[in-house]
Structure 1
Amino acid sequence: MSLTASLDASSVTAVPGEETSLPLQVRNSGSTVEEYRFEVAGACAAWTTVEPATLSLYPGSAETVSVTFRPPRDSSVPAGETPFGVRVVPTSDHAEPVVPEGRVTVAPFTEVTAELVPRGSHGVRRGAHKVAVDNRGNAPLTVGLAARSGTDHARISFTRPELTIAPGRAAFSELRVKPGKRLWRGTPVVHTFQAVVAPPAAEGEEPAAPPVVLDGTYQQDALLPRWLPRALVLATVLALILVGFWYGLLRPAVKSAAREAITPEVIASATTGTGDPGGRSAGPGGATPTPTATPTPAPPPKPSTKPAPKPPAKPKPKPSAKPLPPAVPTSAQVQVRDGVGGGSSSGTALSVPAGQAFRLTDIVVQNPQGDAGTVVVTVGEGSRVLSLALENFRDSDYHFVTPILVPAGGQVTMTVTCRKVGRPVNAPAPSRCAASLFLGGTMQATKS
Structure 2
Amino acid sequence: MERPEPYGAPMSLTASLDATSVTAVPGDETRLPLQVRNSGSTVEEYRFEVAGACAAWATVEPANLSLYPGDTATVSVTFRPPRDSTVLAGETPFGVRVIPTSDHAEPVVPEGTVAVAPFTEVTAELVPRGSHGVRRGAHKIAVDNRGNAPLTVGLAARAGTERTRITFDRPDLRIEPGRASFAELRVKPGRLLWRGTAVTHTFQAVVATPAPEGEEPAAPVLLDGSYQQEAILPRWLPRAVILACVLALACVGLWYGLLRPAVKSAAREAITPEVIASATSDPAKNGGQSAGRTGGQGGGKTGGAGGGGASATPTPTVSVKPSAPATPKPGTGPLPPAVPTSAQVRVRDSVGGGASSDTALTVPAKKTFRVTDIVVQNPQGDAGSVVVTVGQRTFSLALENFRDSDYHFVSPIVVPAGSRLTMTVDCRKVGRPVNAPTPSRCSVSMFAGGTMQQIKP
TM category (shorter chain) comes to: 0.5 to 0.7
Q: Deviations over 1:150-189 (max 9, x none)?
A: 0111111111221000001111101111111111111100
Distance in 2 (alpha carbons) for counterparts of 1:206 and 1:117: 31
Q: Render the CA deviation track for 1:383-436: whole Å, top value 9, x for unaligned.
A: xxxxxxxxxxxxxxxxxxxxxxxxxxxxxxxxxxxxxxxxxxxxxxxxxxxxxx
On the 8 A contact 1:199/1:207 being kept in 2, the answer is: no
Asked if 1 retains the 8 angstrom alpha-carbon contact of 2:119 and 2:212, the reply is: no
Query: Are 1:166 and 2:172 an aligned pair?
Result: no
- Identify if the C-alpha distance between structure 1 residues 76 and 206 changes in structure 2 by more than 3 Å, giving closer, same or farther: closer
Q: Does residue 287 of the first structure (1) align with residue 294 of the second (2)?
A: yes
The correspondence of residues 18-417 of structure 1 with structure 2, limited to 5 A, is 18-200=28-210, 208-261=217-270, 282-283=289-290, 287-288=294-295
- In 2 relative to 1, CA 66–171 (structure 1 residues): closer, same or farther, beyond 3 Å? same
Deviation at 1:148, TM superposition (A): 0.8
Q: 1:17 to 1:193 in 2, by over 3 A?
A: same
Structure 1 residues 189 and 214: CA distance shift in structure 2, 3 A: same
Task: State the distance in 1 between where 2:98 and 2:192 align.
Answer: 77
Deviation at 1:57, TM superposition (A): 0.2
Gaps of 5+ in 2: 1-10, 277-286, 299-457
Aligned twin of 1:13: 23
Match of residue 429 from structure 1: none
Measure the CA separation in 1 of the matches of 2:96 and 2:212. 38
8 Å Cα contact 1:282/1:289 also seen in 2: no
Query: Helix, strand or coil for the counterpart of 1:287?
Result: helix
Structure 1 pair 190–164 and aligned structure 2 pair: CA distance change class (3 A): same
Cα deviation 1:107-137 (Å, max 9, x = unaligned): 1111111111111111111111110101111
Q: Deviations over 1:199-221 (max 9, x none)?
A: 13599x87542210111000011
Query: TM-score when scaled to structure 1?
Result: 0.59
Percent pairwise identity: 80
Distance 1:100 1:201, change over 3 A: closer
Greater fraction of residues in helix: 2
Q: Please give the per-residue CA displacement for 1:281-329, whole angstroms capped at 9, x wherever unaligned.
A: 75279534599xxxxxxxxxxxxxxxxxxxxxxxxxxxxxxxxxxxxxx
Residues of 2 paired with 1:82 and 1:138: CA distance?
A: 14
Instruction: Give secondary structure in 2 for the equivalent of 1:74.
Output: coil
Matched residues in 2 for 1:241 and 1:2: separation? 117
How many Å separate the matches in 2 of 1:240 and 1:206? 78
Q: Which runs of 5+ in 1 are unaligned?
A: 268-279, 292-448
Determine if contact 1:200/1:207 at 8 Å carries over to the other structure. Answer: no
Cα deviation 1:246-269 (Å, max 9, x = unaligned): 1111101112223344679999xx
8 Å Cα contact 1:110/1:208 also seen in 2:
no
- Counterparts of 1:96 and 1:9, CA distance in 2: 23
Q: 1:195-245 CA deviation, whole Å, 9 max, x = no partner?
A: 000013599x87542210111000011112222222222222222222121
Which of 1 and 2 has greater Rg?
Answer: 1
Q: CA RMSD in A?
A: 2.8
Partner secondary structure for residue 232 of structure 2: coil
